[in-house]
Structure 1
C-alpha cells in the first residue's frame, strides 16, 4: 500500500464513519461493506500491509486507550466473568474451531486448524460497546464487555504464536505451551506495570500538558515493543501500562487529563475506521487468492466450510455464557444459604450495609450475577475485528524448511468470512435483540441521579472542611469583612471575587483562586476515597471527576489569566 492509497483509505473511512453516525448506522459494518464494494472499482489494486504494522501500530493505541479510560476497580469487580470470557472462552473456541476445521477443510492439518481457531477466537468489543452505549445497556454488562476485550486479545495472540511456532517448526525458548503462556502473561504484565510507573514519575516531573500527552502517546508502543523483545505478551503489557497510568491520572494536572481525553478519542475513531475499511478492501483479494490456489470448485468448498466455521463460532459463545449462567445460579443459591447460616458473614454484610445506609446508599445485594437477559446480550456480542484481521495477515508464508505454509489461503479466507459474517449477523441483529429484551432499567435514571446526588454530597462535605479551615485561619491579604461571605461565594463559583480583584487587591484575588483550587483538590480526593471504599458508583465518580477538571480549567481561565 503506497502513501497515496493509505491516505485515501483513511480519509474515506473517516467520511463514511461520519455519514454512518449521522444516519444512526453502525460505522464498523458500513465501512466494511463500503470497502468491499470499493475494491471492485476498475484499476483498484490489492492493499498489503505487513501484519506487524497492524499488531504493532494499530492495536497498541486502541488497547491503551480502552485501558486508560476503563476503571481498574470495575475490572476487579467483574474479574471472574472477564477472565472466563477473555481467557477460558478464547481457549475453548480456538480448540473447538481447530478440531472442526481440520475435519471440514482437507487443506488444514490439526495444527494449522488450531492456528485458524486462535485467529477467529477473540471478539472485538468496539461495535458491541458502541451499540450498548447508544441503547442503554446496564453498566455491568458494558464493563464486562470492555474488560473482556482487554484480555482476550492477549490470550488469542499468545495461542496464535504458540500454534504457528509448532507448525512452522521454529524453536521457542520454553518448550511447554502452558509455561510459555504463563511466562508471556506474567512478564507482559510486569513490563506494563514497570513502564507505566516510570511514565507516571516522568509525567509528574515534566508538569507540562503537551509534553505529558506526547509521552502518553509513546507509552503503548514502548510497552508493546519491549514486551515482544522479551518474547512476552505485548498486548498485556499495553493493557497493564494503561491501567497503571489511568489509576494515577489524578496526580496529573487537569489540563493533561482534558487534553488526553480529546486526543485518545480522536485516535480511536481514526484507527477503528481504518481497520474496518482495510478489512473490506482486502476481502475481494482474499477470495482471489483462494481461487488461484485451487480453482472455482475449491473456492466454493472453502467458503462453504467458512460458513460452517462461522456457525460454530456463533454457537460456542452462547453455550459458554449460559453454562456460566447456570453455574452462577447454583452458586448464588449456595451463597445465600451460607449467608443465612454463617453469622460472621452476615455480620460483615450488615456492617457494610449500615455504613452504606449512613451514606444514603441502598443495601448491597450479594452476590450479584448477570440476569438471563443480560446473558443473552453478552452471548450475542461476538463480532470479530482488528485482532482477527491482524493475525490472519500474520500467518507466515513458509515453514522453516522453505515450503509454503499449508492452507494459508484457506485460513485467511475463513478468517475474513468469520469477521465479516459476525459483523453482518450479530452486528445487524444486536440492536433489535437489546430492544426486544427491554434491558434498559426504568430505575436506572433514578439510580444515576441518586449516585450523582451522593457525589455532590461528598464533594460538599469536603469543600465545607476547606472553607471552615479558611475561615478559622484567613490569609492576611483577605479583608475581615470578606471572610464571612467567602464560603457561599466560592461554593457558587461567584464572579464577585474576580470583580473585586483589582490591581490594588491582586493578592486577595490570588488567595480566592488558591482557595477554589484547594476546594476542588479536596473534593477530588473525597470522591476517589468514597469510590475506593465501594460507597460510590465508579461511573458516577468518573463523571464528577471530569466535571471537576472542567471547573478547574474555568477557574484558571477566569482567575489565573487575569492575575
Structure 2
C-alpha cells in the first residue's frame, strides 16, 4: 500500500510540476529529475526500488515502440550517415574516452569495469531526446538525426556494456570477441522484429473493441522485449524494427475507431511512464549517497564531474569532426562535378552536439551491476551525476541555444502537409458522382472552397465555414447541456451526441 501511495503522490506532484514547466518553457524531464533529487535529500524520503531489468522493460519499451512507430522511415534513410556516425562512432569514442579517464582517475580499476562505465554513459536516452526535442523548434532533418540516434544507440552501448560486465565476471576481456557477437545480435534482432510484423498485423485486424486492442498492443510491446532477452537478442533493435515495419504497412492493421481510441491512450501512458522515469532518476540520489561518508561523497562527486565533462566534450568533438568530414566531401564532390548532398551547417552541428541528454537507460544499467563489481558505488554515483548533469545543463540550455543560432525553418512538414491535404480533397472531388443532385452539388462546392483556401496558403482552421462551424458547435453544446440538466435526456444520449460534436469541432481545425 505504501508503494501505491508513493506512486500516487509522485504522479500528482509530477503533473503539477509538468504544468509549471510548460508555463515557464522548461522541459519537464529536467524539473522532474531535479525535483526527485531534492525529494531524495529530505528526511524519510520515499523509496521506489524497481529491479533494473523491470526499469528497462517498463519505462523504455513502450516509449521506444511509440517513438519508432511515429518515426519517418523515409527521413531516417535519408539521414542514415549522420545517424550511423552517432550510433556507432560516438558511442565507441565515448566508451573509450570514459574508460581511459576512469583508469587515469583510478589506476587500479580493471579495464573491463572502465569499459562498462563508458558504455553505460555513452548513449543519449530515447525518452529524454524525444520528450525534449518534440517541444522545441528543431528542423525536421536534424530532429530525425537525433531521434534516429536515440532509437538505436542504446543497442550498441548496451551490447558493449554486457560484454564488459561478462568479462569482469569471467576475469578476462577481449575486445575483438565483441565485434562478431555485436553484428550477429543486431542483424538477428532486426530479422526477429521484421518476422513478427506479418502475423501480428493479421491478428490486430480482428480486434473489434479498443480496450482489448490496447491491452494487446501493450502486452505485445513487453512480450517482444522479454522474448528478445530470452533469445539473447537486442530488445531495443527488435522493438524499433517491429514498430518501423508496422507503421509502413500499406493496409492499416487497425480499424479506424480503434486507431482513434488507442493513440490517445498510448500518448497518456507514455507521459505517465516518462513522469515516473524522470522522477525515479532523481530519487536514486538518496540510496547512492547513503553508501558513503560526507568526505567520500565530495571526493567522488568531483571525480564524477570530471567524467561528465569528458562525456559532453567527446560528443561535441566527434560531431564537429563529422561536420568537417561532410564539408570536405561536399567540396570534393563539387570539384569532381558531382552533385553534393544537403549542406551541413556549423549551427546544426552545435545543436546536435549539445543534444546529448542521458536518462533512465544509463541509470538502470548502473543499478544492474552485480554485487561486488569493481568500483560499483562510484559507477552508480557517476551515472546519476551524468544523467542529472546532462538533463540540467543541456536540457535547460537547448532552447536558448536554438534561439541563439537561429536555425532556419526547413518548412518540409508544412509543404508536405499542404500536398497531402490538397491531394486528399482532389481525390474526393474526383470520386463524387457526376450527377447534378443537390447533395453532389453541395459537397462539390464545399470541397472546392476548401481546396481554394488551401491553395491560398491559409490554414484550414481559418476558413470562414470552419470558423462558423466552431461557433455553431459551441451553441449546440450549450443546448444539449441544457437538455441534460433539465432531465430531458440521460447521460447515454448526452455522451454520444457530445462525441459527435467533438468530431465536428475537430474537423473544423484549430483556431488561428
TM-score, length-normalised on structure 2? Answer: 0.81
What does residue 307 of structure 2 align with?
Answer: 309
Q: Deviations over 1:37-96 (max 9, x none)?
A: 112332225432210111122110011110011111111111111111122211211121
CA-CA distance at 1:114 after TM superposition: 0.8
Counterpart position of 1:378: 352
Please state how far the C-alpha of 1:175 moved relative to its aligned partner. 9.1
**Residues 38 and 127 of structure 1: is their aligned pair in 2 closer, same or farther, counting only changes over 3 Å?**
same
* 2:389 is the alignment partner of 1:421: yes
| Deviation for aligned residue 1:339 | 4.0
Alignment of 1:134-149 (within 5 A): 134-149=135-150
Query: Match for 2:407 among 436, 439, 453?
Result: 439
In the other structure, the counterpart of 2:473 is none
1:332 is matched with 330
Matched with 1:396 is 370
Instruction: Quote how far apart the aligned CAs of 1:198 are.
Output: 1.9
**Cα distance in 2 for residues equivalent to 1:449 and 1:245:** 25
> The residue matched to 2:383 in structure 1 has which SS?
helix
* Structure 1 position 270 matched with structure 2 position 272: yes
Whether the aligned pair in 2 keeps the contact of 1:187 and 1:227 (CA below 8 Å) is no
1:287 corresponds, among 275, 280, 289, to: 289
Q: Higher mean Cα deviation, 138-147 or 39-48?
A: 39-48
Number of positions where the alignment pairs a residue of Structure 1 with one of Structure 2: 454
Question: In structure 2, how many angstroms separate the alpha carbons of the residues matched to 1:395 and 1:10?
Answer: 28
Is residue 63–residue 127 contact of structure 2 (8 Å, CA) maintained in 1? Answer: no
* Cα deviation digits, residues 426-482 of structure 1 (max 9, x gap): 1222221111111143xx56x655444332332233234323xx43xx7xxxxx745
Instruction: Give the drift of 1:225.
Output: 1.0
Aligned to 2:66: 65
* 3-state SS of paired residue (1:24): coil
Contact 2:327 2:344 survives alignment (8 Å): no
Tell whether the 8 Å contact from 1:220 to 1:241 is kept in structure 2 after alignment. Answer: no
Task: Give the Cα separation in 2 of the matches to 1:263 and 1:78.
Answer: 31
Secondary structure in 2 aligned to 1:392?
helix
Residues of 2 paired with 1:272 and 1:12: CA distance?
14
Gap runs ≥5 in structure 2: 451-498, 508-512
Distance 2:318 2:273 in 1: 31
SS at match of 1:205: coil
Q: Tell me: CA distance 1:449–1:54, structure 2 relative to 1, closer, same or farther (3 Å).
A: closer
| 8 Å contact kept, 2:29–2:132 | no
Partner-residue secondary structure (3-state), 2:290: helix
- SS of equivalent residue, structure 1 residue 206: coil
Q: Please state how far the C-alpha of 1:127 moved relative to its aligned partner.
A: 4.2
Distance 1:127 1:435, change over 3 A: farther
TM-score (norm 1): 0.74
Query: 1:197, 1:244 within 8 Å by CA — same for their partners in 2?
Result: no
Contact 2:281 2:363 in 1 (8 A): yes
Task: Spell out the pairing of 1:134-283 with structure 2 (5 A cutoff).
Answer: 134-169=135-170, 176-248=177-249, 251=252, 252-283=254-285
Unaligned runs of 5+ in 1: 341-345, 347-365, 398-403, 475-479, 495-549, 559-563
1:491 pairs with 2:447:
yes
Residues in 2 aligned to 1:98 and 1:386: alpha-carbon distance in whole angstroms: 21
CA distance in 2, matches of 1:5, 1:484: 60
- Match of 1:176, SS state, is helix
Match of residue 420, structure 2, among 436, 441, 455: 455
How far apart are the structure 2 equivalents of 1:271 and 1:368? Answer: 37
Aligned partners of 1:420 and 1:245: how far apart in 2?
Answer: 34
SS at match of 1:435: helix
C-alpha distance in 2 between matches for 1:130 and 1:281? 20
Distance 1:171 1:50 in 2: 27
1:60 is paired with a residue whose SS is: helix
Over 3 Å counting, the alpha-carbon distance change for 1:486 and 1:5 in structure 2 is: closer
Greater CA drift, 97-106 or 225-234: 97-106
CA pair 77-486 structure 1, distance change in 2 beyond 3 A: same
8 Å CA contact retained: 1:105, 1:302: no
Aligned mates of 1:185, 1:114 — CA distance in 2: 20
Distance 2:19 2:362 in 1: 25
For the 8 Å contact 2:128–2:358, the answer to whether it is kept is: no
Compared CA separation, residues 51 and 493, structure 1 to 2 (3 A): farther
CA apart distance, 1:240: 1.0
Aligned to 1:321: 319
Query: Does 1:412 pair with 2:380?
Result: yes
Comparing 261-270 with 481-490, which one deviates more in the overlay?
481-490
